[in-house]
Amino acid sequence: MSLNQVSFTGSRGNPDLKPFQADQADVALEWYFGSSSALSGTAFYKKINSFTVNTIVEEYFENGINSGIYRVTQPTNGESGSVQGFELNYQQLFPDLPGILAGSGVTLSYTFADSDTPLVNSLTGKKDPLPGLSRHSFNASAFLEQTWGNVRFTYNWRDTYLNTVQTAAAGGNLYTRAYGQLDASFQYNLTERIKLNVDLLNITDAANRTYEGARERLRLFEVNDRRIFFGIRARL
């Protein structure tokens, strides 16, 4: 159990948590239309027998001058639920393009996931989705592979999702808004054994936003700043 005496929040574990269990079925169709190029689709259904839900409750704690009501986060057992949806993937290489574009390629993927759980929204009375699951998600990557090294740009995006279950008295559920992040990586082969690496994360300085109950009630605004990492790899 840990308490933050400044924000009057806390967190604790739960020794009674059940393992995540699910029965699932998948059907996939793949078409390989070129060297390392493919188009595929997968439909899936998962019957979830148990899952974990983060919940926030308000409790009073005797803590000297910091005694008061704390908002405590704790993982609890979900009852049962289901997830169904589909995934589309596309990958293509372009080895015959002229000049520097030779060896370039793209990958695209999209996932739709719809869920059904016994959780009920404390404010609207409607069914809640599976916590942590976005209804829509998308990934795209463009890359270039040549003898001197490689370059890759990647964009990942996911839709709004349920973050934490809360009571109406606590303000309603916490949701994390849709978020997209652009990253890049560069590798230059100084020799056959020595490689120079540069990684750029969150190039656009995208921000994470969490809201309580309604989008207008912003709870958290967080930016994992743009970061650049340099490195050298040597192979004996």
The pLDDT value recorded for residue 98 is: 84
Q: Is residue 59 part of a domain?
A: no
83-100 pLDDT, tens digit each? 999 999 999 998 888 888
Q: How many CA atoms lie within 13 A of 228 on its CB side?
A: 5
Query: Could you give the number of structural domains in the chain?
Result: 1
Range of the domain at 92: 22-51+78-234
> Is 142's pLDDT higher than 90?
yes
The pLDDT value recorded for residue 84 is: 95
> Is 170's pLDDT higher than 90?
no
C-beta separation of 195 from 189 below 8 A: yes
Give residue 161's pLDDT band: very low, low, confident or very high (50, 70, 90): very high
Q: Is residue 137 part of a domain?
A: yes
Q: Is residue 168 part of a domain?
A: yes
Q: Which of 114-118, 187-191, 197-201 has the lowest mean pLDDT?
A: 114-118
Q: Distance (Å, rounded) from C-alpha 148 to C-alpha 186?
A: 11
Average pLDDT over residues 129-133: 88
> Is 192's pLDDT higher than 90?
no
CATH code (residue 103): 2.40.170.20
The pLDDT value recorded for residue 25 is: 95
The pLDDT value recorded for residue 40 is: 97
Average pLDDT over residues 71-92: 87
Q: Distance (Å, rounded) from C-alpha 51 to C-alpha 118?
A: 11
Average pLDDT over residues 102-109: 92
Q: Is residue 12 part of a domain?
A: no
Q: Distance (Å, rounded) from C-alpha 135 to C-alpha 109?
A: 14
Q: Is residue 187 part of a domain?
A: yes
The pLDDT value recorded for residue 3 is: 77
Nearest to 227 by CA among 204, 208, 196, 210: 204
The pLDDT value recorded for residue 134 is: 95
Residue with tokens 């990942």: 156
Burial tier of 12 (Cβ tally within 10 Å: 0-12, 13-18, 19+)? exposed
Going along the chain, which residue ranges are E strands? 2-4, 9-11, 21-34, 37-61, 68-78, 81-94, 104-116, 136-146, 149-158, 161-166, 174-176, 179-189, 194-201, 207-212, 218-223, 227-234
Q: How many CA atoms lie within 13 A of 132 on its CB side?
A: 7
Q: Distance (Å, rounded) from C-alpha 205 to C-alpha 225?
A: 6
- Residue 217 per-residue DSSP state: S
Higher pLDDT, 169 or 223: 223
The pLDDT value recorded for residue 78 is: 72
pLDDT above 90 covers a percentage of the chain that reads 46
Q: Which of 6-15, 27-36, 103-112, 199-208 has the lowest mean pLDDT?
A: 6-15
Q: Is residue 3 part of a domain?
A: no
